[in-house]
Structure 1
Amino acid sequence: MSEERLMSKKKPAYPVTKELDGYLAHYSRKSEIPIFYEDLLRFSGSVVVYDSNDEDTLWIRVFYSEFDRQEIDNSLKKVYSILHSDGSSYIHQYLNVDAVDFCTFGNSKPFRIKVRNILNDNFTYFYVKRTDASRIYGLELEHMLSPYNLNFLVYKDTLIEEHIAGIPGDVFIKDMLPSCTESEKAQLAKEFVKFNERCMIRLLGDMRSYNYVIVPVHDFDHVVYRIRAIDFDQQCFEGKLKVYRPQFFKENFQMVELVRNKLLRDSVDQYKLEERSIVAKRILSSGNRIRKLRTIAKQDDISTPENVDMLKEQIYDLTLDLNFRKCNNMGEVLDLALDFVRRNYEDVSMKQIIEQNIKIQQNPME
């Protein structure tokens, strides 16, 4: 299926409601910052950023007038301090803003800020983007339902995100996958199955290879690979269920081939079940926080009626749960999808407990 037919050409940014704003404040996601996305658009010049192979990265390095530069640098240091420290200005003397890059590709058009510690030359990045409610839902769901915590801030129309370290999926597939051992390829196939399932469960779309990273973790005498999403722009927006399943993007063809070549059907089913179970456990352990977010999402408008109607029918075809056909918006679809996973997990767990109790009653000496 072509990319144009699979994905909408343009997704709008959705405003943050009063209820979502209150949620962000309650969970320390909201903080006053001294600079906004629009301020960074005042650059006076730019140059293309190339990678080590002299290929265009689709980022441009922007420059500001001397007067603006000093104010912007100080403000960005303050943002770094709020995001990573206690917000005080004490650490500013040890920081330098090495670069401000602007991405001209994609919906969010983010700014990437490179901040370096001048005492030891360690550096990190953070991103400045326009606020988008669906992206915020995506970030929060990733924080609660994936193995990873996320650090971000929202203030009015500006969203600050920490950098997620890893090897971009497209770079890894092209340059590193061919040299992986057979054991590593099998482990990557397992991770892709789990990643694919997790994205579908929580309705995170558009996980093409450049929207996730591969994270190598050294464990004793071998390397374990993890797959981590880095773009949450397409949370609960598209109407086609395939958009929420990374396996259907042509950019992930080689990862799908890994699964086909390295895993038996029973193994794939096992890994899917494992991921559904662990997501269900995270839903249960997130308690009031995820319940509040789901309640707010059900009152919000983060997609089009056409997309909602299409998606609820396709999920009904998959689950045969008539409740999906009663959904009125994407928040309700998301809420029911998460509840479907939780209920199935609890039903299986209860069945296992009952079977175990029956066995004990029949064989009390075991």
Structure 2
Amino acid sequence: MQVISKRKKHYDVNADLHDYLRQYGREIDLPILYKGLTQPYESFALLDKDGEDTLWQTFIYEPTIFQEINEALTRIYALLQIAGADSVEHLRVDRVDFCTFGNSQPFRIRIINQYNDNYDYFYVKKADASRIYGLELEEMLSPSSINYLVNQDTLIEEHIVGVPGDQFIREYFGRESLNRVRVAKEFIKFNERCFARLLGDMRSYNYVVGITPDFDNEQYRVRPIDFDQQSYEGRHKIYLPQFFKDNLPVVQLCTGLLNYETIQQYQIEERALMARRANTIPYRLSNLRTCMGEDTISPPEKLKQLKEELSEYHGYTGFLDCKTMGELVFRHIDYLLFEQDLG
């Protein structure tokens, strides 16, 4: 079982990455930056429905300052979700929560529609290059699209809807209505997507499970919600969710229901789907490869360790001459999606 004991190092967004983000519509001027939310005059612990501490703090601001914050955050929501439409008077900020637990020290913004009390969330975070590369790879190689914006040192992310993984394992695994084979299949495919693009630390609280009713049953989609550990650690098992202790019930479900041939089939299916997605956006993926390959997003000793472990794991020495972690990521993508028969 894998354990991550140290907080990941923060990597600033460099000029080349800002240029890349601007080219693809991710870089945009925002009416407020991360620092503008960091000075409340009061805060209190946010509790869940059972009275337990959620590790989030609700921030309270001076009324005049909050008026400016409300206008700025509703405008950001419009930029993120409705392409900057001017009609946002019916929206207001219902709550601003802050969490020191995550690497990006996020603010969670609750936006409410005053006409019908419907609400939505988005996040304001410290922009970290590793996380942004993870978001881009998720957009390009996964079956789900994701909205985010960047300005200077500030990252805006949409809320990803789904049942938190730990809650899904705890509350759904015992239900008779759960389609266990479909759940097992989706977790195999999720495991494969994470490993191919080297997205690490998929402990059960770092992903969600979307449940969609089908005409005869339910479909499931596992989506990561934490991209901080995109290609940072040196141990290859960090990039395989199956090796985290709190995912053990998922592993037992998969091995109890699926034989080796079926698991291998699902893995090959997912690699083929990722390859197909990659082939539809060759220029964008190539630009990201160049940008990420020239960036520093992991310490040299972790790069060395991961090159050696992947080489041993796959029996393929082509990883050993990679000079940066970004270069290693794309070498691994190429190997698994297009070149594995050469290993």
TM-score (structure 2 length as normaliser): 0.96
Deviations 1:62-108 (A, max 9, x none): 111122111111111111111112324x3221101111011121211
Between the aligned partners of 1:40 and 1:285, the Cα distance in structure 2 is 39
Match of 2:207 in 1: 212
Q: 1:298 to 1:2 in 2, by over 3 A?
A: closer
Aligned partner of residue 87 in structure 2, secondary structure: helix
| Aligned equivalent of 2:320, options 308, 320, 325 | 325
Structure 2 residue 36 is the aligned partner of structure 1 residue 20 = no
Offset, 1:342: 3.2
Between the aligned partners of 2:269 and 2:88, the Cα distance in structure 1 is 45
Between the aligned partners of 1:255 and 1:315, the Cα distance in structure 2 is 24
Between the aligned partners of 1:38 and 1:93, the Cα distance in structure 2 is 25
How many residues are matched? 342
Contact 1:8–1:238, Cα closer than 8 Å, also in 2:
no
Between the aligned partners of 1:29 and 1:321, the Cα distance in structure 2 is 36
| Higher Rg of the two aligned structures | 1
Structure 2 residue 265 is the aligned partner of structure 1 residue 258 = no
Give 1:39-78 correspondences, 5 Å limit.
39-78=36-75
Offset, 1:150: 0.7
Identity %: 46
Match of 1:240 in 2: 235
Amino acid at match of 1:116: I
Amino acid at match of 1:337: H
Between the aligned partners of 1:267 and 1:2, the Cα distance in structure 2 is 26
Deviations 1:44-75 (A, max 9, x none): 11121122222221111111112211111111
| Aligned equivalent of 1:290, options 285, 291, 297 | 285
Amino acid at match of 1:106: G
Amino acid at match of 1:268: I
- Choose between structure 1 and 2: higher helix proportion: 1
Contact 2:80–2:149, Cα closer than 8 Å, also in 1:
yes
Contact 2:2–2:238, Cα closer than 8 Å, also in 1:
no
Structure 2 residue 188 is the aligned partner of structure 1 residue 193 = yes
Amino acid at match of 1:49: L
Between the aligned partners of 2:149 and 2:62, the Cα distance in structure 1 is 27
Match of 1:361 in 2: none
Q: 1:2 to 1:276 in 2, by over 3 A?
A: closer
Give 1:31-46 correspondences, 5 Å limit.
31-46=28-43
Deviations 1:1-43 (A, max 9, x none): 352xxx2501122111211111100100011001111111111
| Aligned equivalent of 2:106, options 86, 106, 110 | 110
Contact 2:41–2:62, Cα closer than 8 Å, also in 1:
yes
Deviations 1:286-326 (A, max 9, x none): 21001110111110000000100000001101222222111
Give 1:32-181 correspondences, 5 Å limit.
32-88=29-85, 90-181=86-177
Match of 1:359 in 2: none
Between the aligned partners of 2:246 and 2:37, the Cα distance in structure 1 is 32
Q: 1:2 to 1:146 in 2, by over 3 A?
A: closer
Between the aligned partners of 1:196 and 1:186, the Cα distance in structure 2 is 15
Between the aligned partners of 2:309 and 2:167, the Cα distance in structure 1 is 33
Amino acid at match of 1:46: S
Offset, 1:180: 4.2
Contact 2:123–2:156, Cα closer than 8 Å, also in 1:
yes
Contact 2:112–2:120, Cα closer than 8 Å, also in 1:
yes
Deviates more, 1:225-234 or 1:315-324: 315-324
Match of 1:357 in 2: none
